[in-house]
Amino acid sequence: MRAYIGYSTAVQYWLKNGMDETNRANVVSFRSLNDAAYTLQELTSLDLQLHGLEASMARGWPDSRRKRGKTKREVPQGEAIHVLVPKGADSNRIEGFDRHVWSTHIPENSFCEIASDTYVSTPEFAFLQMAGALTFAQTVLVGYWLCASYKLPEGGGVPLEVEPPTSVERLQTFLLGAEGCYGAKKARRALRWVIDGARSPMEVATSMVMSLPTKYGGYGLEKPCINYKVETTDWDSCTLDRPDRTYFEIDLYWPKKKVGVEYDGFPHLDPARIRKDKRRLNCLLVNDIKVLVVMYDQMVDDDVRDTLMHQLSKMLGAKQRDVSDAEKDAREALKGLLFLNEFSL
């Protein structure tokens, strides 16, 4: 029997361990899950924790199927390892495991073998699975995480720069072969708003707030580039953070408008860093690049955030219209999702 790991357990696995070329070489395809382990005895016999698989939140996500009139079922809380089981198998939660029936076809290159009889859904397949279980905004967020160039160290601290588990291009290619799979339509829609290469949670959050459509809680602005490189002149080189670089990086940038947004977090509060940042902003200004500086408290204060977005809209030549009550509610929900830790895997 084989264990097929999926959903949030697979997402967490790739966010922690990364997806390098060695892993890609172990990607395989299966036509069915008929040999999947799904009883408690079968699953516990595989010692999944020995392979770096950690329990994640049991199904507590909003199920998009409920809005079609189906009765809301009681969702077990706690933590579990999420596994895929074949059609007809029992999908109730058992001790330590949350079982998900996968009844449609399995796209090509959906699993990576990490140990004998243990297969983890690839980042691309895990994204598809999560799209079927999450809200639209949550799906976009998971897409950002999987395409991000950072991971959070255990115990907290400054994000570490890493190779992203996947990319927008890889996700797009995978979803071409997922036609008819549950969650595929939402995954494709959500992917339109995902951007590669974020290096911090705040870059993800700020980008989503700015660019998501208003009905999903965003401000509907054009998607920015993340960590865009702006080449320097010889005169500017003394202001660079690293001597091996010949360019500045701007957190969020709109090249056609020459407008950028920079996030100031705790590392930027050091006096030496403040002086460096000011010299850097002067260099960008001389090169006709306008930059708005954003801080956490601006993003969680509704009135201050609205003012900031109107300023940015004016710089980009866009217009902000009055929003409906439903859109205001969506903004409040998005703020909770991105800034108040109201969602976890």
State pLDDT tens for residues 291-343.
999 999 999 999 999 999 999 999 999 988 899 999 999 999 999 999 998 88
- Report pLDDT digits (tens) over 81-105: 999 999 888 888 888 899 999 999 9
For range 34-43, the mean pLDDT? 92
Tokens 């397949």 appear where?
125
- Sequence-ordered list of residues with C-beta below 8 angstroms from that of 207, at least 6 positions apart, any chain: 144, 195, 198, 223, 224, 226, 252
Q: Residue 144: name the closest of 48, 64, 208 by CA.
A: 208
Please check the confidence at residue 66 and state whether its pLDDT lies above 50: no
What is the sign, positive or negative, of the torsion defined by CA atoms of 64, 67, 68, 71? positive
Please check the confidence at residue 230 and state whether its pLDDT lies above 90: no
DSSP H/E element including 274:
helix 271-286
Confidence of residue 64 (pLDDT cuts 50, 70, 90): very low
Return the minimum-mean-pLDDT range out of 10-14, 154-158, 165-169, 216-220.
154-158
- Which pLDDT belongs to residue 180? 95
Return the minimum-mean-pLDDT range out of 57-61, 158-162, 186-190, 331-335.
57-61
- Sequence-ordered list of residues with C-beta below 8 angstroms from that of 193, at least 6 positions apart, any chain: 140, 143, 208, 211, 212, 223
Checking DSSP bridges between strand 118-121 and strand 3-5, what pairing results, if any?
A: parallel
- Sequence-ordered list of residues with C-beta below 8 angstroms from that of 111, at least 6 positions apart, any chain: 4, 27, 28, 29, 30, 119, 120, 121, 122, 125
Q: Which phi and psi (to 5°) does residue 140 adopt?
A: -60, -45
- Which pLDDT belongs to residue 112? 97
- Report pLDDT digits (tens) over 269-292: 566 666 666 777 777 777 788 999
- Which of 30 and 232 is assigned the larger pLDDT? 30
Distance CA 315, CA 182 (A): 41
Confidence of residue 72 (pLDDT cuts 50, 70, 90): very low
Contact 290, 317 (CB under 8 A): no
Distance CA 33, CA 9 (A): 18
Please check the confidence at residue 151 and state whether its pLDDT lies above 50: yes
Please check the confidence at residue 59 and state whether its pLDDT lies above 60: no
Q: What is the mean pLDDT of the chain?
A: 87
- Which pLDDT belongs to residue 270? 62
